[in-house]
Structures are given as structure tokens and as C-alpha cells.
């Protein structure tokens, strides 16, 4: 198998036991959220037991066979060099953001459409490792939003003060949310001028990353082609730039995370008797194949 599976270790910002525990916790969370029934034992053996390298790209072919249909690339550049624009479907998982989540979601998307799919490995991030370890999706969501709002206000105040001292100069500060390796990989794939994207699927925290990537790329004039893709978001209704025309957002009626964290003014569909997870082995799962099928008549 022509794969790049020798993924390097990440620079650690927390004590190794805490980060290792967080990685194993996230891998277990992702196994529950996304399931592993669509992956063979050999394919699961290729994936990191913990979180994996943020910014890595997992590629999945549809179906299960003796030969592994999962390939893990260290970064977006290696994937793009190997793929040559053939893969037109992209996924962004949430949950613990592990390689397992990326592989399972990519395989589900590939099986739903009969075409290969790629997924970005988000990772849980250095600053959020302890929060992930504590399982604080509900507890930390309001804190995260408050921190983001205060950070935005702070950046605006800095810009206003600097602009007052240097009139006529156009100033801009980098968006901290889009400087992580996973965000860079997502922007590289979406901003690739030689790649046509037909469908982009994001779940939970992945929806927020996708929305931010679209906003940044379109602001830089590099996201016009990606904005023509059909976009399906699951479990986290979020504002997207108006240029993203073919957008469908859904959440489960029994999803407490989406209920607490969703931007309620954003138009979205509520799926009855459905929770937060995509694992078909558990009741109340989001049927990804059915949601993709519902996209059929959306674009013209």
C-alpha cells in the first residue's frame, strides 16, 4: 500500500501522561461517535491509538476489501501530491478529532456516495487537551465562546488604536483560530485551484472549523471554487458566508450538545429521534447516507 503512515510525534505542551490520557480518551470517544464497523481490522491497525497528528489527511475508498482502503498522509501537501485532484469529497470530523474519527467519517462518506473521500485530522489542540480529557463539551462551550468573543474585541481594540496612530495604513491581525496545522490543511485543500470539490461534510466542532476556513479563504479571494460545492453540516448549525450557496444544516432533536451550542438564528433542519452521533451501531444515529441523499435536488 502506497501510504505515508509514519506520522511524527507532536511537540508536547502538557505533561505526557495528561496528553496521552487525553488522546486515548478521544480515540474512545470517536469510536463511539463514528463507529468502526466500516473499517477493517487491518485499516484500524494503521491508525493512531491516540489523536494522531493535527493536519494529517486520511483518504478512504468505498467498501471493505482485503487490501486496506485507508491511507494516512502526514499533511495536505503530501496528500495533494499523491491525489492529483481526483478526490472531490472532503470531511471534517468533530468529537476527539482523532485519526479514527477522520477515517470512519471519510469511509462513511465514501460508502454513501460510492466515491473516495478525504478527511482532515483536527486533533484536540494543546490548549484544549485538559478540557477534552475532562469531557467538557457542554461545560467548556460557553467558556470557549466567551473567550473567542473577548479575543475578537481585544483584537479590534488593538487595530483601532494602531490605526489611530498610523492613519492611512490598512492593518489586519491573523485569525488565531486558523493558524493550527489542521486549519492550515483544511484551507490548503479548499483553496487548491486544481481541485474541484463536489461535497464537503462537517460534524460538530468540525462545522466551526469549516465555517472559519470558508470565511478566511473567501476574504483572501481563494475560496470561490470551494464555495460552489454542496456543504452538509451535522450537529452544529453555524453561520457561513453568503457565497456558500448549496448549504444544508441538520441536527438531532435528541442532541443536547447541539441544543446547547447551536446558533438558533441559523436556519437548519431538526431530525426526529436522532442524537449527536453517526455510529450506526447505536440507536438514534445520524444516517449520513440518507442526509447526503437529501442533497440531491439542492444544487442546480
Concatenating the DSSP letter of every residue in 25-85 gives HHHHHHHHHH-STTS-HHHHHTS-SS---TT-EEEE-SS--SS--EEEESSHHHHHHHHTT
> Alpha carbon of 142 to those of 33, 146, 233, 257: distances in Å?
22, 6, 21, 11
CA 203 from chain center: how many Å?
7
Q: Using one digit for the tens of pLDDT, what is the confidence trace for 81-140?
A: 999 788 999 999 987 788 999 999 999 999 999 999 999 998 754 444 334 333 344 444
Helix, strand, coil shares, percent, the chain, to 5: 40, 10, 45
Q: Using one digit for the tens of pLDDT, what is the confidence trace for 160-178?
A: 554 554 455 444 434 444 4
Under the phi-then-psi rule, with left for phi > 0, alpha for psi from -120 to 50, and beta for the rest, what region is 211?
alpha
H or E stretch at 97: none
**Does the predicted TM-score (pTM) go above 0.85?**
no
Amino acid at each position: 500500500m502506497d501510504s505515508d503512515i509514519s506520522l511524527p510525534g507532536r511537540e508536547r505542551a502538557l505533561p505526557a501522561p495528561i496528553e496521552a490520557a487525553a488522546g486515548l480518551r478521544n480515540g474512545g470517544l470517536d469510536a463511539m461517535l463514528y463507529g468502526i464497523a466500516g473499517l477493517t481490522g487491518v485499516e484500524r491497525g494503521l491508525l493512531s491509538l491516540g489523536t494522531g497528528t493535527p493536519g494529517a489527511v486520511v483518504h478512504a475508498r468505498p467498501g471493505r476489501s482485503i487490501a486496506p482502503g485507508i491511507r494516512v498522509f502526514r499533511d495536505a501537501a503530501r496528500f495533494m501530491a499523491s491525489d492529483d485532484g481526483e478526490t472531490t469529497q472532503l470531511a471534517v470530523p468533530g468529537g476527539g478529532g482523532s485519526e479514527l474519527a477522520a477515517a470512519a467519517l471519510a469511509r462513511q462518506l465514501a460508502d454513501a456516495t460510492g466515491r473516495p473521500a478525504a478527511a482532515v485530522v483536527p486533533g484536540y489542540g494543546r490548549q484544549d487537551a485538559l478540557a477534552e480529557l475532562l469531557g467538557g463539551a457542554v461545560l467548556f462551550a460557553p467558556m470557549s465562546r466567551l473567550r473567542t468573543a473577548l479575543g475578537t474585541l481585544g483584537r479590534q481594540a488593538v487595530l483601532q488604536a494602531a490605526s489611530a496612530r498610523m492613519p492611512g495604513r490598512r492593518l489586519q491581525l491573523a485569525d488565531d483560530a486558523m493558524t493550527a496545522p489542521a486549519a492550515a490543511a483544511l484551507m490548503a485543500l479548499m483553496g487548491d485551484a486544481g481541485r474541484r470539490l463536489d461535497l464537503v461534510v462537517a460534524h460538530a466542532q468540525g462545522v466551526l472549523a469549516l465555517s472559519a476556513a470558508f470565511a478566511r479563504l473567501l476574504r483572501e479571494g481563494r475560496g470561490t471554487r470551494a464555495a460552489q460545492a454542496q456543504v452538509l453540516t451535522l450537529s452544529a448549525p453555524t453561520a457561513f458566508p453568503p457565497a456558500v450557496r448549496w448549504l444544508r444544516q441538520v441536527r438531532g432533536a435528541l442532541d443536547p450538545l447541539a441544543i446547547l451550542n447551536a446558533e438558533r438564528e441559523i436556519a437548519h433542519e431538526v431530525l426526529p429521534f436522532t442524537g449527536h452521533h453517526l455510529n450506526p451501531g447505536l440507536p438514534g444515529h445520524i444516517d449520513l447516507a440518507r442526509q447526503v441523499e437529501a442533497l440531491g435536488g439542492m444544487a442546480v
